[in-house]
Amino acid sequence: MDAIDTELTPRADEAPKMYWQVLLRLRWLLGGAIGLAFAIGRMLEALWFEPETPLTRVFGDVAAWGLLGGLAVWLTLTWVSRQEQRYQAGLEQALRDQQRAYSQLALLSEVNRRIVDSATLDDILDAAMTFPQRLVPAQATAVVLLNPNGFVEARAQGMSGEELSRLRRVLGIADSVATARQPQMIERSGCACLVLPLHDGMALLGWIELHLEDSIPVASDELALLETIANEVAEAIASARRRSREERAIYQLERAIAEERARIARDIHDGIAQSLAFMRMRVDLWLDWIEHDPQRLRAELLELKTTLREQIRELRRAIFALRPVQFDELGFVGGLRRYIVEFAGQHNWDIDVDLTGTPSTISPEIEAVAFRVVQEALTNVAKHASATRVEVTIGRVDEGLQIVVRDDGQGFDPGALPEAPGHVGLRQMRERLAALRGQLTILSRPGAGTELRAWIPLPMGAREKAVQG
């Protein structure tokens, strides 16, 4: 309906506009005719009602009245015509502005619909390449995204990557956009580029480059629309990255659960199952000792009691490992604290837990790895350390998350780790940390306890907020 009304509006105004144009063209003729009518009327008045008036005065009055009447009509028609022209020009400009606003609103609606329908980051980047060019036709377009190692050209068209990199250096785009939040026209050395920063509200995600053949003025409403499009694209990019991180975290969590189940199955098979099978065989042997060698049977039963106590402890540890950690109800810090305290209670340790330095805004991916590090470290202490006291500390160190697990157990030689069959979990721990560009350090020696330190780099936002108390 808007499009139909827009088309009909100028047609409805064509008739009066045409009439005033005719009057404007005929103003000389109409002025002369009315002036002549004034002159004739004055002459007839003088001849009929003032016959004694001198002819010179009559002709003077005729000329004066004719000129004044014609001039008045000419001036009136000219002024009215000019006013009509201004009105028509204003109406046409208002119509053009309305059509412009409508087209911009339609473009913004299309941007929103396209982004909502985008299932992947690639779809969003394609939209980022397409829509700005609808407002500012460019010789070349590029979408640049930032990553921890710098920036990477995610999309480009119209120029080669080498040429775009050269223009980027010549124009100093990276430096100019670092602190900018609004579109910028950058001109240098005969080159021009309109840059649209992409912000997610906290950090710069990247920017869109529109390389132009020459600097062109961009209307303020178009700049505002370009900024809105850039904000929509930035929000979509941030959401896509967040979904990707969450999907990776879910995948890692599922893989960790599968690995933990496999480890528990191995422990049960290699430990409890084999011990029970061995004890069953010995029970068959003991049946013959009831009458013939009761003293030896008594010693065997005492040893069985000790073995069963160890197997019960091992079974409880396996059951505890299968219990879900209450991260949903208690949050990461609260759930991790409860897990550590309950794990220590299973082994009668004196436990000291300090999680006050844990940031409250770390990603699910980092949370999953941090939990696995703590879980594996405590499991190793339970299996190998014979410790009575354990300390767990988590805090921020060197723009990263540091996890420290320290025990007063028997210690070991770290140089023997590659050959030690019981430390497969440490290798998995290193692999998980390496995937996040983290580090693992183990300090120990026989008889002096063990200290495990894991460090994971944190994104900028997570460094600024820590749990208090």
- Could you tell me whether strands 191-199 and 204-212 are parallel, antiparallel, or unpaired per DSSP bridges? antiparallel
pTM for the model stands at: 0.49
CA distance 62 to 68: 10
Residue 353 exposure: Cα atoms within 13 Å on the Cβ side: 20
The confidence score (pLDDT) of residue 54 equals 66
Q: Find, among 357, 405, 412, 364, the residue nearest to 384 by Cα.
A: 412
The pLDDT of residue 9 is above 60: no
Q: Which residue would you say has higher pLDDT here, 148 or 415?
A: 415
The confidence score (pLDDT) of residue 466 equals 44
Residue 236 burial (C-beta neighbours within 10 Å; 0-12, 13-18, 19+): buried
Instruction: Give rounded-to-5 percent helix, strand, coil for the chain.
Output: 65, 15, 20
The confidence score (pLDDT) of residue 464 equals 45
Question: Contact, 385 vs 407, CB < 8 A?
Answer: yes
The pLDDT of residue 393 is above 90: yes
CA distance 401 to 395: 6
The confidence score (pLDDT) of residue 237 equals 84
The confidence score (pLDDT) of residue 350 equals 95
Q: Which residue would you say has higher pLDDT here, 25 or 400?
A: 400
**pLDDT band, very low/low/confident/very high, at 12 (cuts 50, 70, 90):** very low
Q: Which residue would you say has higher pLDDT here, 288 or 66?
A: 288
Question: Contact, 463 vs 456, CB < 8 A?
Answer: no
Percent of the chain surpassing pLDDT 70: 74
Count of beta carbons in the 10 Å neighbourhood of residue 56? 8
**pLDDT band, very low/low/confident/very high, at 190 (cuts 50, 70, 90):** confident
Q: Which residue would you say has higher pLDDT here, 217 or 462?
A: 217
**pLDDT band, very low/low/confident/very high, at 5 (cuts 50, 70, 90):** very low
Question: Contact, 355 vs 337, CB < 8 A?
Answer: yes
Tokens of 275: 């011990």
Percent of the chain surpassing pLDDT 90: 12
Question: Contact, 151 vs 206, CB < 8 A?
Answer: yes
Start-to-end CA distance of the chain, whole Å, equals: 62
Count of beta carbons in the 10 Å neighbourhood of residue 194? 23
Q: Helix or strand or coil: residue 34? A: helix
* pLDDT tens profile 33-57: 666 676 676 667 666 766 665 666 6
CA distance 128 to 114: 10
Place of tokens 């009575």: 388
CA distance 86 to 169: 49
The pLDDT of residue 376 is above 80: yes
Tokens of 187: 């001109």
CA-angle at 208, arms to 363 and 233, nearest 5°: 50
The confidence score (pLDDT) of residue 395 equals 92
Q: Please enumerate in sequence order all residues whose Cβ is within 8 A of that of 194, keeping only pairs 6 or more positions apart, or say none.
A: 136, 138, 183, 184, 185, 186, 209, 210, 212, 218, 226
The confidence score (pLDDT) of residue 32 equals 63
The confidence score (pLDDT) of residue 454 equals 96
Least trusted range by pLDDT, from 43-57, 69-83, 125-139, 401-415: 43-57
Count of beta carbons in the 10 Å neighbourhood of residue 38? 21
Q: Which residue would you say has higher pLDDT here, 402 or 235?
A: 402
Helix H or strand E segment including 371: helix 364-380
| Cα dihedral: 143, 148, 149, 155 (round 10) | -10
**pLDDT band, very low/low/confident/very high, at 61 (cuts 50, 70, 90):** low
CA-angle at 185, arms to 182 and 186, nearest 5°: 120
The confidence score (pLDDT) of residue 403 equals 96
Domains of the chain: 2-114 (no CATH), 121-241 (3.30.450.40), 326-469 (3.30.565.10)
Across the chain, mean pLDDT equals: 76
* pLDDT tens profile 284-325: 777 777 777 778 878 878 887 887 877 777 776 666 666 556
The confidence score (pLDDT) of residue 149 equals 67
The pLDDT of residue 104 is above 80: no
Give the pLDDT mean for 227-236: 83
Tokens of 318: 């396996």
Q: Find, among 141, 162, 166, 164, the residue nearest to 233 by Cα.
A: 141
